[in-house]
Amino acid sequence: MTRATLSNRAARRLFLDRHLLLRPGGGPGRGADLMGVLDALGFVQVDSVNTLARAHDLILWARRGQYRPRALQRLVARDRAAFEHWTHDASVIPMRFYPAWRLKFERDEARMRRRWPAWQREGWDAEIDTVLSYVANNGPTSSRDVGPEEPRGASGWWDWHPSKTALEFLWRSGRLAICHRQGFRKQYDLAERVIPSEYLNIRMDNTEIVDWAMEAALARLGFATSGELAAFFAIVTPEEAKAWCAEARAIGRIREVDVELADGSLRRSFTTEAALDAAASLPEPSGRVRLLSPFDPALRDRKRAERLFGFRYRIEIFVPEAQRRYGYYIFPVLQGDRLIGRLDAARSGAALALRAFWPEDGVRMGKARQKGLLTELERVCSLSGTDRVEAAEDWLRA
């Protein structure tokens, strides 16, 4: 079979369409509609930083302007239509995917037992049974409820007391599940009291899980290398991904394609006939200027985004302030099928403060594009709990 070539424009549009960012979108952003968005994306990363809105909320809002945070909370805590666990990072995941996560539970447990003794404070493994018994007897439990006599770390992030580490271990290995959050604090309970039985009791063998994960990843990426497919859910190993691609290609289930990158070079990838057909008939992209979370699924793989869009993005939260190029928490900005710049904005009382916008090279910030950006910020006020946009005089750094 002759290897097809996917132009950079077609590749960008296919990728964005799979991420629900090509078309105008619509829908109420709750219930079945929101579940459809989550299923289409595969997962939504959860992050605690809240300078304007939390990452998971901004990701969903970018696709459904009527979305509000309570709608996702209901899917997880009331409807049990989604669960929280890890892909490449902590994420909300469709509940129907839960059976495939059993392989991840198994592999994560082995990894934690291998690495955590050198990484975490001593004594966490001795608390596993105690913490599990506490949850079994008391129901929803937070890290504040266990190990009350243990000294708490002062640095936050990963400086956990032993019982908190045991809680995380039990969650990551699948014996506990997050039943809800209070504020942003996780509440854990036994998995059998959280996960609906129709998903909890399904058993898939490892071969079935690998096949599902690879096919589901390719459907959501449109085209990818074996490594990109393995990294999507972070369930499959690179070796398993290579073997799956070789077998799937041999039987005609997938095919190779040369994808043109932003610099004009070609990158060998895998795709399907259906994806190539879809790429040939995609509509022109929406002209809306879209504010994206730094953790948007379309940008999760930073290297892929850089190759495809020519957009180099690094979050600077952990960079000392004096060394930051842009700022603490900078939002990528998309228009059409291009990433046009990056924006520094945050809540300031009742206002959304626009501090700076840096257009990408070659992006002209005419009046129409400036208006589109300001309109997007006015829209996001309803999500961020602000009532107006206040722009610094020098906000446009063209």
- For 20-56, the pLDDT digits (tens) are 999 988 899 999 999 999 999 999 999 999 999 999 9
**pLDDT given for residue 296 in this prediction:** 97
Output the pTM of the full model. Answer: 0.95
pLDDT at residue number 123: 79
3-class DSSP assignment, residue 316: coil
Q: Residue 166: pLDDT above 60?
A: yes
Rounded Cα distance between 271 and 68, Å, is 35
Q: So what's the pLDDT on residue 25?
A: 80
Residue 155 has pLDDT above 60, yes or no: no
Measured CA distances, 206 to 87, 106, 125, 129, 210 (Å): 17, 11, 27, 28, 6
- Cα distances (angstroms) measured from residue 273 to each of 23, 74, 222, 227: 22, 37, 10, 20
Please determine, looking at this structure, whether the domain spanning 120-195 carries the CATH number 3.30.360. no
Report the SS3 class of residue 291: strand
Q: What is the pLDDT of residues 5-25, one digit of tens each?
A: 999 999 999 999 999 999 988
Quote the CA–CA distance of 83 and 98 in Å, as a whole number. 8
How is domain 289-391 classified at the CATH fold level?
A: Aminopeptidase (3.40.630)
Give the rounded distance of the alpha carbon of 70 from its chain centre: 18
Domain with CATH 1.10.10 in the chain: 120-195
* Closest of 4, 42, 54, 15 to residue 273, by C-alpha: 4
* pLDDT tens string 347-393: 999 999 999 999 999 999 999 999 999 999 999 999 999 999 999 99
Q: Is the CB of residue 32 less than 8 Å from the CB of residue 293?
A: no
**Is pLDDT above 90 for 277?**
yes
How does residue 153 score in pLDDT terms, banded at 50, 70 and 90?
Answer: low
pLDDT of residue 1: 63
Number of helices followed by number of strands (H, E) in the chain: 15, 13
Give 332's contacts (C-beta < 8 A, 6+ positions apart).
Answer: 292, 294, 296, 299, 311, 313, 339, 341, 342, 343
In DSSP terms, 177 is beta-bridged to: 189
Contacts of 148 (CB under 8 A, 6+ apart): none
- Cα separation, 309 vs 291, in Å, equals 16
Tell me which residue of 57, 42, 84, 69 sits closest to 189, measured CA to CA.
Answer: 84
**Under DSSP, is residue 281 helix (H, G, I), strand (E, B) or coil?**
coil
For residue 366, what is the DSSP state?
-
Q: Over the stretch 180-194, which tens digit does the pLDDT of each residue have?
A: 999 899 999 999 999
Question: Which residue spans within 66-155 are E strands per DSSP?
Answer: 82-86, 90-94
d(CA 58, CA 344): 15
Nearest to 298 by CA among 113, 66, 40, 27: 40
Cα separation, 67 vs 218, in Å, equals 27
How far is 328 from 315, CA to CA, in rounded Å? Answer: 8
Q: Name the pairing type of β-strands 266-271 and 255-260.
A: antiparallel
